[in-house]
Amino acid sequence: MNKKELSQLYYLNREIEEQQRRLDELECLATSCTSRITGMPRSKGLFDKLATYSAEIADVKGIIDLNIKKCFYELNRLNRYINGVGNSQMRMILSLRYINGMTWQQIAFSIGEHDEQYPRRKHNEFLKKQRFNEKEQNMAV
């Protein structure tokens, strides 16, 4: 697995946060009861804000639900991969980084180190070794 594949859960979570902000904005627009006082005459047609935004609100909710399901799939996939790693410290580094979304400094403190370069370097060496092993396996086949 490479960094891009390992980072999918992080980016899905950011995408869900953005979609949730959009949903909150739409719901606010649809339910706001404030009226504008302009002194201008009103049109005869009724304007139903809720009906105007309801389809878009439903679409955004559907997208959020789909992305939440994708998050559970990614979480399970990451856990299976991480649990298959033989080195317990590397499992901890991978879990803290890709499941918990911690920074390298936070990871360093969590594993008893003070330099953020230590877990980052171990992580990069591990991924490089994994890539090399995958290439060897592909050549053997």
Class of domain 86-141: mainly alpha
Kindly indicate the confidence band of residue 110, based on its pLDDT and cuts at 50, 70 and 90.
very high
What pTM does this model have?
0.74
The predicted structure's pLDDT at residue 36: 54
Segments making up each domain of the chain, as ranges? 1-36+47-84, 86-141
pLDDT at residue 46 in the model = 45
What pLDDT shows up at residue 10?
93
CA dihedral 3, 6, 8, 10 (to 10 degrees): -100
| Per-residue pLDDT reduced to its tens digit, 13-58 | 999 999 999 999 988 888 775 555 555 555 554 456 667 788 899 9
**Which of the residue ranges 65-69, 85-89, 114-118, 129-133 would you say has the lowest mean pLDDT?**
129-133
Per-residue 3-state assignment (H helix, E strand, C coil) for 26-68: HHHHHHCCCCCCCCCCCCCCCCCHHHHHHHHHHHHHHHHHHHH
The rounded percent of the chain whose pLDDT value lies above 90 is: 67
Structure-token pair, residue 126 = 């591990």
Q: What mean pLDDT comes out for the span 77-103?
A: 96
